[in-house]
Amino acid sequence: MWGIINYFPIIKPSLQIIYTSIEKPRKKLVDMIGYENQNCPTLILSNKSPIYQNCGLLSVNGYNFLNNVRDIGRYYSHRFGTSYPRGA
């Protein structure tokens, strides 16, 4: 994900990046979106974030999120005009 953030710097100000350990369970993610949704990277959208169709958006416990690089890339392409992920 750092590659796309560095290549498209318009994205970074919209993010609050929280690092977590590689070991599971990843407590903060589990607390927010459940044990089965602790993949990294995960993009959890704020309540003010726009929603787009066909981005793989999931919803749990009142949180809208994307839990894989391809879906996050699709979301960024809609929101920021970045390039669309290959094979998508």
Q: Where are the domains of the chain?
A: 22-88
Q: pLDDT > 90: what percent of the chain?
A: 73
Q: Is the entire prediction scored with pTM above 0.85?
A: yes
Give the residue-averaged pLDDT of 5-31. Answer: 91
Average model confidence (pLDDT) for the chain?
A: 91
Average pLDDT on 25-42 reads 94
CB 65 within 8 A of CB 58: yes
Residue 73 parent element (H or E): helix 69-80
User: pLDDT band for position 59 (50/70/90)?
Assistant: very high
Separation CA 82–CA 52 (nearest Å): 14
